[in-house]
């Protein structure tokens, strides 16, 4: 009987200790959620990292060094900027960016048409427009940029155009930056002069946003854009093939009315 009572007593003590451990764990978790360090981090984010008017509708919570961002901003670029600013805050381990883009949804077709035109004329005047062939696709407000860019500046500029356009929910950058080499640069400009120097093709230099676009990768040339006729397409391909050092020409020019531009 004595042993039975002792067993009951030990069981009771074990249950009490177990209950106490659970209470301590819950108390610790609650303390972690409202720790002074997290509160200080939140205050620093609100007062320094996100103290600009463009972040006025962004809310921040911090738990265990992880910042959660909610609320709205005008364009995707501001959402990305908020993320980067908070990441730079000392003591922040990670950022959960749940900020949404304000305003009504823009139809994909309308948004794509707007972005295609904006990117076509992006960086006009810098002398590299004819060497960029950037493709745009929009699905559920998510913009995917592909194709080729002459350099990283041109690629980044196209991404910035998309990220600052209202209605864009996200930007996926799949642009390939063409290799930088003296040989490719020589070929690039030689093809430009040869193609545009041909009498029936120099009209494509009139509109800086609608040129015959020339992409060069390790001596391989690809032509993009839209031309008026099959003869213009053929002439551009033939002219590009005459440039010394060109290994191969892929003629992706589209004839107006013959299908969408690639």
CATH number of the domain that 232 lies in?
3.30.1340
Residue 2 lies in a domain: no
Residue 17 lies in a domain: no
Residue 86 lies in a domain: yes
The SS3 assignment for 249 reads: strand
Looking at residue 179, its pLDDT comes to 86
**pLDDT digits over 9-68, tens only?**
444 434 333 444 443 343 344 434 547 789 999 999 999 999 999 999 999 999 999 999
Residue 9 lies in a domain: no
Residue with tokens 């427009």: 129
pTM of structure: 0.79
pLDDT band at 258 (very low <50, low <70, confident <90, very high): low
pLDDT > 80? residue 215: yes
- Helix, strand and coil content of the chain, in percent to the nearest 5, comes to 45, 25, 30
**pLDDT digits over 114-142, tens only?**
999 999 999 888 888 899 999 999 999 99
Query: Are the C-beta atoms of residues 101 and 75 closer than 8 Å to each other?
Result: yes
Residue 261 lies in a domain: no
Percent of the chain at pLDDT > 70 equals 85
Looking at residue 156, its pLDDT comes to 96
For the residues of 18-87, what is the DSSP string, one character each?
HHHHHHHHHHHHHHHHT-HHHHHHHHHIIIIIT-SGGGTTEEEEEETTEEEEEEEESSHHHHHHHHHHHH
Q: Which among 72, 101, 130 is the end of a domain?
A: 101
Looking at residue 260, its pLDDT comes to 43
Q: Which among 46, 72, 101 is the end of a domain?
A: 101
Same domain, yes or no: 186 and 241: yes
Tokens encoding 46: 């609100």
Please report the sign of the dihedral spanned by the C-alpha atoms of residue 222, residue 225, residue 229, residue 235.
Answer: negative
pLDDT > 50? residue 96: yes
Domain range holding 96? 34-101
pLDDT band at 209 (very low <50, low <70, confident <90, very high): confident
Same domain, yes or no: 75 and 113: no
- Tell me which of 3-7, 24-28, 213-217 is least confident: 24-28
Residue 135 to residue 210: CA distance in whole angstroms: 14
Residue 5 lies in a domain: no
- Tell me which of 19-28, 201-210, 225-234, 250-259 is least confident: 19-28
pLDDT > 70? residue 168: yes
pLDDT > 70? residue 150: yes
Tokens encoding 56: 């006025």
Domain count, the chain: 3
Residue 262 lies in a domain: no
Same domain, yes or no: 112 and 96: no
Looking at residue 33, its pLDDT comes to 52
The SS3 assignment for 222 reads: strand
Same domain, yes or no: 170 and 128: yes
Q: Which residues pair with 69 in a beta bridge?
A: 60, 97
On average, the pLDDT of the chain sits at 86
Residue 204 lies in a domain: yes
Looking at residue 10, its pLDDT comes to 40
CATH number of the domain that 62 lies in?
3.30.1340.30
pLDDT > 60? residue 84: yes
Query: Are the C-beta atoms of residues 85 and 50 closer than 8 Å to each other?
Result: yes
């Amino acid at each position: 009987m004595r042993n039975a009572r002792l067993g009951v007593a030990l069981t009771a003590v074990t249950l009490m200790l177990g209950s106490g451990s659970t209470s301590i764990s819950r108390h610790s978790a609650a303390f972690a959620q409202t720790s002074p360090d997290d509160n200080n981090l939140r205050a620093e984010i609100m007062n320094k990292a996100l103290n600009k008017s463009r972040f006025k509708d962004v809310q921040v919570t911090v738990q265990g060094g992880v910042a959660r961002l909610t609320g709205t901003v005008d364009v995707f670029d501001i959402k990305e900027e908020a993320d980067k600013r908070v990441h730079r805050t000392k003591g922040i381990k990670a950022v959960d960016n749940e900020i949404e883009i304000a305003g009504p949804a823009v139809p994909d077709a309308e948004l794509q048409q707007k972005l295609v035109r904006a990117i076509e004329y992006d960086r006009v005047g810098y002398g590299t427009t004819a060497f960029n062939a950037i493709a745009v696709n929009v699905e559920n407000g998510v913009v995917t940029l592909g194709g080729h860019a002459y350099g990283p500046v041109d690629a980044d500029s196209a991404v910035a155009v998309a990220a600052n356009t209202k209605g864009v929910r996200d930007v996926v950058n799949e642009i390939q930056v063409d290799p930088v080499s003296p040989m490719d640069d020589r070929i690039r400009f030689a093809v430009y002069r040869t193609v545009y120097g041909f009498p029936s093709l120099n009209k494509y230099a009139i509109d800086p946003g609608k040129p015959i676009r020339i992409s060069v990768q390790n001596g391989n040339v690809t032509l993009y854009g839209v031309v008026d006729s099959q003869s213009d397409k053929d002439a551009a391909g033939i002219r590009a093939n005459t440039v010394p050092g060109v290994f191969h020409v892929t003629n992706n020019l589209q004839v107006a009315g013959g299908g969408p531009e690639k």
